[in-house]
Amino acid sequence: MTDIAETMSPQSAEALRGAFGATLDRNQRTIHRMIDGIGHEQSLLTLVEGGGHLNWVIGHLGLSRDQLAQRLGGDRQIGADAEKRYDFGSQPSSAEAAEPLGELVKRLDESYAFLKGKLAELTAERLSAAENARTTAQRVDFTLWHEAYHVGQLVLYRRAAGLTSRIG
């Protein structure tokens, strides 16, 4: 396998920065379109008995962004206990323990602004840098794919709240 550090050109890095930034923008816009009109109580509706809720998905996205932001030199936005509350395999909070949806969205917006700036600064060398057998480019790519996966789920929660899709 060819070492990506040997093959990444400045032009490739520019193309990746553009694609990553566009995907982050699209995800952010879609999140806001899907949660528009949903209040905190509606964010706690589940689709199936014992299942998750929109509030957990937004917290999970915030955690995922935080993890990428930390790799890129940023600070956490979502809180110290985020892994326990929002990581893969965690249980959605009860209505009494759930963080207010507005606070989760505010922190998600802050992480968006940080990541948007950081993604624009990534050099070919930084994109090619490997940590634990994955390059920065691969980590960014996975984070954005993972985010899009969950963003697609938001329409289901929107419909559960009695609202129509804001897309199509």
pLDDT in tens, 112-136: 999 999 999 999 999 999 988 999 9
Query: At residue 4, does pLDDT exceed 60?
Result: no
Query: At residue 92, does pLDDT exceed 80?
Result: yes
Looking at residue 5, its pLDDT comes to 52
Query: At residue 2, does pLDDT exceed 80?
Result: no
Query: At residue 76, does pLDDT exceed 90?
Result: no
CATH superfamily, with its number, for domain 15-160 = dinb family like domain (1.20.120.450)
pTM, whole model, 2 decimals? Answer: 0.91
Give the integer Cα–Cα distance in Å for 99 and 82: 11
Domain boundaries, given as residue ranges, for the chain = 15-160
Instruction: Kindly give the residue spans of alpha helices, DSSP state H, lying in the chain.
Output: 4-7, 10-35, 54-71, 82-86, 101-121, 124-128, 136-160
CA dihedral 156, 162, 166, 168 (to 10 degrees): 70
Give the integer Cα–Cα distance in Å for 161 and 144: 26
| Contact assessment for residue 66 and residue 102, using Cβ atoms and an 8 Å cutoff | no
Which of 51-55, 79-83, 100-104 has the weakest average pLDDT?
79-83
pLDDT tier at 168, thresholds 50, 70, 90: low
Residue 9, CA distances (Å) to 62, 72, 81, 101, 118 in order? 31, 20, 39, 42, 19
Query: At residue 158, does pLDDT exceed 90?
Result: yes
Looking at residue 145, its pLDDT comes to 98
pLDDT tier at 85, thresholds 50, 70, 90: confident
159-167 LR contacts (CB < 8 Å, sep 24+): 160/45, 160/46, 160/47, 161/37, 161/38, 161/42, 161/45, 161/54, 163/37, 163/38, 166/33, 166/34, 166/36, 167/30, 167/33, 167/34
